[in-house]
Amino acid sequence: MSEIEVTLPDGSVLSVPEGSTVEDVAYEIGPGLGSDTVAGVVDGDLVDKATPVHDGADLVIVTDGSEEYLRVLRHSAAHVFAQALLRLHPDAKLTIGPSTDDGFYYDVTNVDLDREDLDDIEEEMADIVAEDYDIERFERSREEAFDVYEDNPYKQDILETEAADEDPVSFYRQAEFEDLCQGPHVESTGEIGAFKLLNISSAYWRGDEENDQLTRVYGTAFEEEGDLADFLEMREEAAERDHRKIGKEMDLFSIAKDTGPGLPLYHPNGKRILDELADYAKDLNLDAGYDPVETPHLFRTELWKKSGHYDNYVDDMFLLDVNDEEYGLKPMNCPGHATIFDQHAWSYRDLPVRYFEDGKVYRKEQRGELSGLSRVWSFTIDDGHLFVRPDQIEAEINLIIDNILTVFETFDLDADVALATRPEKSVGSDEIWEQAESQLRAVLDDGDIDYDVEEGDGAFYGPKIDFGFEDALGRKWDGPTVQLDFNMPERFDLTYTGEDNEEHRPVMIHRALYGSYERFFMVLVEHFKGKFPLWLAPEQVRILPVSDDNVEYAESVAAELGDFRVEVEDRDMTVGRKIRAAHDDRVPYMLIVGGNEESAGTVSVRDRKERESNDVELEAFRRHLEAERAEKRTEPDFVDEA
Eight-class DSSP state of 279: H
Helix (H) or strand (E) holding 329: strand 325-329
70 CB neighbour count, 10 Å cutoff: 18
Largest Cα span, the chain? 99
* Helix, strand, coil percent values for the chain (each to nearest 5): 35, 30, 35
b/e for 488-515, b at 16 or more Cβ within 10 A? bbbbbebbbeeeeeeebebbbbbbbbbb
CB 228 within 8 A of CB 103: no
CB 163 within 8 A of CB 89: no
One-letter amino acid for residue 159 of the chain: L
How many helices and strands, by DSSP H and E, does the chain display?
20, 32
Comparing C-alpha atoms, which of 184, 257, 562, 635 is closest to residue 412? 635
Beta bridge partners of 134: 188
Beta bridge partners of 417: 467
CA–CA gap between residue 388 and residue 369 (Å, rounded): 37
Any known ligand binding at 334?
yes
Any known ligand binding at 243?
no
- Kindly list the strands in the beta sheet with 177-180, ordered across the sheet, starting from the edge strand earlier in the chain: 136-140, 169-174, 177-180
- Angle 551-552-556 from CA coordinates, rounded to 5°: 115
Sign of the CA dihedral with 474 first, then 478, 480, and 486 last: positive
CB 333 within 8 A of CB 382: no
One-letter amino acid for residue 68 of the chain: E
Strand bridging mode 319-322 / 325-329: antiparallel
**Three-state secondary structure string covering 136-180:** EEEEECHHHHHHHCCCCHHHHHHHHCCCCCCCCEEEEEECCEEEE
CA–CA gap between residue 355 and residue 373 (Å, rounded): 26
CB 409 within 8 A of CB 402: no
- Angle 477-481-482 from CA coordinates, rounded to 5°: 160
Binding residues: 334, 385, 510
Binding residues for Zn(2+): 334, 385, 510
